[in-house]
Amino acid sequence: MKNILIVDDEPDIREILRYNLEKAGFNVTEATSGDDALNKLSKDLDLAILDIMMPGKDGYQVCKKIREQGNTLPIIFLTAMDREFDEVRGLEVGGDDYVKKPFSPKMLIARINAIFRRVDQINSKGTSISFGDLKINTQSYIALLEENELHLPRKEFELLAYFMNQPNIIFTREQLLSRIWEEDVFVIDRTIDVHINRIRSKLGIYKNWIETVKGVGYRFRPKI
């Protein structure tokens, strides 16, 4: 059974989430605040559903703290806000997906299952992939650059793994969105650019291995 952490200060929301997630076969842990969520993090968790607007630490701050710890736990933001820049901010701090209130429990569970499917798909393509000093392990979700670990949130790791599995192939933004986020997940066009820029910033002198093909998209082109 997958273990999911629900983080929301509204008891009614937590009750709805718990009922539907347990009905779908998931184990559920609840947290009522950002600090409570950070205290309940463990290696046994498989995913977190994180409300943005909470007293004390908000969802953005909690997500940022989780990523600073090197934790790749998939995070789905849950929010009533409906502005594009909120989604971009969520991606920039390391969120994996974004669901707006009011939400359909069926749709949320579809999003959760889509994330778990992508994890399985990446693992099925091979355990270790390497180009020069850049190495990733798709079972442990560890990426190494010159033997130093790169702290990549799950979506950044999945995107890099997708590129490294298919070097020198050009992908449009639309292809990357549909294959990494799947068609049932709504994301904006800037999503890919945000993730590519974050990956490049962590690759250092190897950042140019991910090339922008003007007017088309991106490709992974290792220069070794």
| CA dist., res. 79 & res. 121, Å (int) | 28
Q: Tens of pLDDT along 7-32?
A: 999 999 999 999 999 999 999 999 99
- What is the assigned CATH class of domain 126-220? mainly alpha
Q: Tens of pLDDT along 77-94?
A: 988 766 554 667 777 788
- Give the rounded percent of residues in the chain with a pLDDT score beyond 70: 89
| CA dist., res. 173 & res. 56, Å (int) | 36
Q: Domain spans of the chain? A: 3-119, 126-220
- What is the average per-residue pLDDT within 168-180? 87
Note whether 111 and 21 are within 8 A (CB).
no
Run of H or E residues at 150: strand 148-150
- 3-state secondary structure (DSSP) of residue 33: coil
Can you say how many angstroms the Cα of residue 77 is from the centroid of all Cα atoms in its chain?
10
The chain-wide mean pLDDT, for the chain, equals: 86
- What is the assigned CATH class of domain 3-119? alpha beta
Rounded to two decimals, what is the model's pTM?
0.69
* Among the ranges given (48-57, 71-80, 113-122), the one the predictor scored with the smallest mean pLDDT: 113-122
| CA dist., res. 37 & res. 45, Å (int) | 11
pLDDT for res 85: 47
How would residue 218 be classed by pLDDT, with cut points 50, 70 and 90?
A: very high
Domains 3-119 and 126-220 share a fold: no
